[in-house]
Amino acid sequence: MRDDPTQMAEQVSKVLRHLVLLLRRSSAGQPVTTQQYAVLGSLEHGPRRMTELAEEHAVQLPTMTVQINRLEYAGLVARGSDPADARVRTVELTGEGRDRLHAVRRARIARLAHDLAALSDDERDVLAAALPVLAKLGIDRTTQ
């Protein structure tokens, strides 16, 4: 298949659609939406500024403003200021935000681990080998 990129692309496309449906089914009705969870994850290692968050999540600044507003209202993050530049707002996790992040992460990892446990050793090997390749896919698109 590797010699017919078009055919392979069709397979990849189907698999992507499958994964998207999987994610949709598994994230319905969770205590934190996938977007909120992703943003909380960005804050794990310290405060970030709004522009950073927006870029990292491939989103416009106003979109991130609204996200952070909701998270702040929910008590999961707090806004701060940069003493060196009064224009920038920083965002950081509250204690509750950190707790929630870890709880949701545990649940997601556990579910994934459960799914992975249903595979054979060989299948897990194959999958593990492919992860770096998947991570590499499309990285040059981000610079366009």
The residues binding a copy of itself (CB under 8 A) are 1-2, 5-6, 8-26, 38, 57-58, 108-110, 112-113, 115-119, 121, 123-131, 133-138, 140-142
What SS3 class is residue 3? coil
Concatenating the DSSP letter of every residue in 16-31 gives HHHHHHHHHHHHTT-S
Residue 66 interacts with DNA (CB under 7 A)? yes
Smallest gap, in angstroms, from Cβ of residue 33 to DNA?
3
69 binds, among DNA, a copy of itself, none (CB under 5 to 8 A by kind): DNA
Whose Cβ is closer to a copy of itself: residue 35's or residue 94's? 35
CA contacts within 13 A on the Cβ side of 112: 10
The dihedral formed by the CA atoms of 97, 39, 18 and 27, expressed in degrees to the nearest 10: 30
Q: At what angle do helices 95-117 and 34-42 cross, to 10 degrees?
A: 110
Among 70, 98, 105, 108, binds DNA (CB under 7 A): 70
Q: Which residues bind DNA (CB under 7 A)?
A: 28, 33-36, 49-51, 57-70, 79, 82, 85-90
